Amino acid sequence: MVSGKPSNNQPSKFGKRINFILILLCLSLVFLGKLDLIAVRNLKAFMSDFLAPITFLFNKPVKEIADVLEDVKSATSLRDENIRFKSEIRRLKVWKSKTESQELELLELRELLKVIPKKNNEIITGRVFTAAGGIFANTVLINVGKKDGINIGQPAISSLGLVGYVVNVGISSSRILLIIDINAMIPIYLTDSNWPAVVQGQNGELLKIRFLSSEAKPVEGEVLETSGHGGQLPSGINVGNIVKSFSGNYYVKPTVNFQKLTYVSIITNFNSKHSSKNIFNGFAPLQKPIPSIGLKGINSSGTRRSESLKN
Amino acid sequence: MNINSIFYFFNKFSNNILCFFLLFFLINIETSFGFFLIFQNSTPSLLSIAIYLSLRKFSIHLSSFSLFTLGILYDVLLGSNIGISSMFFLLIKYFTQYLKLSFIENDSSDDWIYFTFIFISSFIITFSLNIILTLTIPDLSPILFHLGTTLITFPFILISINFIYFITKLIKN
């Protein structure tokens, strides 16, 4: 058995003081980081940029091994999957014929109503090179950055739905805050009932639904999409489905599998310029009430004033 | 300053650099474990095991500055609040040093219990700090998984080290 040598590493008075200073430094760094100062953000971006190739080098073989293991695992269930896919194809064919006729109808209706066509998204796709699992944070690094036109606040999507949004940008790498992170809050609406709400990550698998009206009655399996409220994210991006817990509370299961993220697309023509935060230019002076034309003794809401009633 | 003290400082410095790179390698291994399906939500804290074992078993005095820098790098890699992991690593170091000086005998077989105590107390402090910062209690299942896997991994690593040591001793004899 390994035995520890007699210790001669007793911390001196100076060492103890250094230890105390370092703990204080850590605490101040934590709170400084929370203030989201530009200097701290830039330092983080620079360090992410610097560490990106090293991380990629280390993560690549492990990711390959994980993929091989996953392949081996899925090979055992090939027959069952084949049957499932066949039935799925049959179902999708029926859906396809239905949607084709509905699409034509939709186009005609849009033409009739003169609906302004939705702007097409401009996207830049980057490769994810870190795993998402962390206890205090759920973020991923991608290999596109400022030089590719990425900015803070831009939404990140995959083929399945919303992944998160950009929180830090370096020259050649960007960090994406995933929607499962505790700091991520996404304005959504329930697609069946149109009720708006906000979903918040919990650093776990499911998202918490907040600010949902008590009148709303969510249905298990109901699809949730981004509402576009607040102007930070475009509307209509798939977020997840409603699931019911054992306790009877409703949660959201994201459609994106964050463990299998390989490529992520950033919508570059929808950035934080749209947010009300950035167009804030100070407080506007209070407006004088607009003189409205009304009958004598009747207020703006159309009811009779009390003083006129006395007279 | 005589030549011996220069050599001593140089030796200490090179040891610290070597430890720093080894621990940095371990950080990368730890973060890349997230690609495996089993560690989807959280990975075991290999670094805390390494810090404990290096202080307790091998009597390697890890510099506080190295741990502080490693913590910063760890936070940058994971994207968490800068300083939180530094504090965690430093707390593990201080608790281990304190316990080693005060209670633990050199040939103690209760390492797992001591490690559990040190790891959980350091984790509770950093976790509370994180709750204060976010003002929300996160989902506890990944946290419990993280604690569980770390505490399960520890005895395996300890047994492997003891086994290697035993084999080398046998070969030497």
Compare A209 and A298 and report the one with higher pLDDT: A209
Contact list in B for residue A134 (CB cut-off 8 A) is 34, 42, 78-80
Q: Could you say which DSSP state residue A217 is in?
A: -
Please say if the pLDDT value at position A168 is more than 60: yes
Q: Within this chain, do residues A140 and A270 fall inside the same structural domain, yes or no?
A: yes
Please say if the pLDDT value at position A16 is more than 90: no
Tokens representing A33? 């980081």
Q: Within this chain, do residues A169 and A42 fall inside the same structural domain, yes or no?
A: no
Q: Please indicate if any CB of chain A lies within 8 Å of the CB of B166.
A: yes
Please work out, in degrees rounded to the nearest 5, the angle formed at the alpha carbon of residue B7 by the alpha carbons of B6 and B12: 100
Instruction: Kindly state the helix (H) or strand (E) to which residue B6 belongs, with its residue range.
Output: helix B3-32
Compare A153 and A290 and report the one with higher pLDDT: A153
Contact list in A for residue B78 (CB cut-off 8 A) is 134, 136-137, 139
pLDDT value at residue B103: 62
Nearest CB neighbour to A6, from listed B39, B41, B106: B106
Q: Within this chain, do residues A184 and A68 fall inside the same structural domain, yes or no?
A: no
Q: Within this chain, do residues A63 and A182 fall inside the same structural domain, yes or no?
A: no
Judged by CB atoms closer than 8 Å, whether chains meet at B87 and A4 is answered as no
Compare A17 and B158 and report the one with higher pLDDT: B158
User: Is the residue at A193 inside a domain?
Assistant: yes
pLDDT value at residue B123: 93
User: Is the residue at A37 inside a domain?
Assistant: yes
Judged by CB atoms closer than 8 Å, whether chains meet at A23 and B59 is answered as no
pLDDT value at residue B141: 87
What share of chain B in percent tops pLDDT 90? 25
Nearest CB neighbour to B138, from listed A23, A48, A182: A182
Contact list in A for residue B166 (CB cut-off 8 A) is 1
Average of pLDDT values for A162-181?
Answer: 90
pLDDT category at A294 given cuts 50, 70, 90 is: very low
Q: Among the residues of A77-227, which ranges form H helices?
A: 78-113
Could you list the beta-strand ranges (E) of chain A: 123-127, 139-142, 155-157, 162-169, 174-178, 185-190, 196-201, 207-210, 223-226, 238-244, 250-254, 263-267
Contact list in B for residue A67 (CB cut-off 8 A) is 35
pLDDT value at residue B90: 92
Minimal CA separation from A258 to chain B, in Å: 9
pLDDT value at residue A254: 92
| Parallel/antiparallel/unpaired status of strands A263-267 and A123-127 | antiparallel
pLDDT value at residue B119: 93
Q: Give me the residues of B, 82-141, that contact A with CB < 8 A.
A: 82-84, 86-87, 90-91, 94, 97, 100-101, 106-107, 129-130, 133-134, 136, 138-139, 141
Judged by CB atoms closer than 8 Å, whether chains meet at B28 and A177 is answered as no
Judged by CB atoms closer than 8 Å, whether chains meet at A62 and B101 is answered as no
Residue A103, φ and ψ in degrees, nearest 5: -65, -40
Judged by CB atoms closer than 8 Å, whether chains meet at A6 and B138 is answered as no
Q: Please indicate if any CB of chain A lies within 8 Å of the CB of B155.
A: no
Residue A69 belongs to domain spanning: 19-75
Average of pLDDT values for A175-191?
Answer: 90
Compare A26 and A274 and report the one with higher pLDDT: A26
Q: Within this chain, do residues A41 and A158 fall inside the same structural domain, yes or no?
A: no
* CB neighbour class for B18 (10 Å; exposed up to 12, middle 13-18, buried from 19): exposed
Please say if the pLDDT value at position B47 is more than 80: yes
Minimal CA separation from A125 to chain B, in Å: 20
Count the domains in chain A.
2
| Complex ipTM value | 0.82
Please say if the pLDDT value at position A5 is more than 80: no
Please say if the pLDDT value at position A189 is more than 60: yes
* CB neighbour class for A27 (10 Å; exposed up to 12, middle 13-18, buried from 19): middle
pLDDT value at residue B122: 93
User: Is the residue at A11 inside a domain?
Assistant: no
Q: Name the residue with tokens 């090293």.
A: A54
Average of pLDDT values for B48-61?
Answer: 86
pLDDT category at B60 given cuts 50, 70, 90 is: confident
pLDDT in tens, A84-142: 899 999 999 999 888 888 888 888 888 888 777 677 778 889 888 887 767 888 889 89
Q: Within this chain, do residues A260 and A148 fall inside the same structural domain, yes or no?
A: yes
Q: What is the mean pLDDT of chain B?
A: 85
pLDDT value at residue B116: 92
pLDDT in tens, A34-90: 777 788 888 888 888 888 888 888 888 888 888 888 888 878 788 888 888 999 999
pLDDT value at residue A10: 57
Average of pLDDT values for A9-17?
Answer: 67
Average of pLDDT values for A218-244?
Answer: 88
Contact list in B for residue A23 (CB cut-off 8 A) is 87, 90-91
User: Is the residue at A155 inside a domain?
Assistant: yes
pTM score, whole prediction:
0.78
Judged by CB atoms closer than 8 Å, whether chains meet at B86 and A69 is answered as no
Q: Within this chain, do residues A29 and A148 fall inside the same structural domain, yes or no?
A: no
Q: At what angle do helices B140-172 and B46-56 cross, to 10 degrees?
A: 40
- Rounded to whole angstroms, the Cα distance separating A82 from A89 reads 11
Q: Within this chain, do residues A61 and A150 fall inside the same structural domain, yes or no?
A: no
User: Is the residue at A71 inside a domain?
Assistant: yes
pLDDT value at residue B101: 65
Q: What 3-state class would DSSP assign to B28?
A: helix
pLDDT value at residue A6: 42
Please say if the pLDDT value at position A13 is more than 80: no
The residues pairing with A225 across neighbouring beta strands, listed in sequence order, are A189, A238
* A-B C-beta contacts closer than 8 Å: 177
Average of pLDDT values for A263-271?
Answer: 82
Q: Within this chain, do residues A171 and A251 fall inside the same structural domain, yes or no?
A: yes
Q: Within this chain, do residues A61 and A155 fall inside the same structural domain, yes or no?
A: no
Judged by CB atoms closer than 8 Å, whether chains meet at A26 and B43 is answered as no
Q: Within this chain, do residues A173 and A263 fall inside the same structural domain, yes or no?
A: yes
Contact list in B for residue A200 (CB cut-off 8 A) is 136
pLDDT category at B120 given cuts 50, 70, 90 is: very high
Minimal CA separation from B80 to chain A, in Å: 5
Q: What is the DSSP string of A162-195?
A: EEEEEEEE-SS-EEEEETTSTT-EEEEEETTT--
Residues B73 and B24 sit within 8 Å (Cβ to Cβ):
yes
User: Is the residue at A129 inside a domain?
Assistant: no
Chain A residue with minimum CA distance to B26: A58
- Rounded to whole angstroms, the Cα distance separating B27 from B34 reads 12
Q: Euclidean distance between the first and final Cα of chain A, in Å?
A: 103
Q: What 3-state class would DSSP assign to A207?
A: strand
Contact list in B for residue A47 (CB cut-off 8 A) is 72-73, 76
Q: Express the helix, strand and coil content of chain A in percent, nearest 5 each.
A: 35, 20, 45
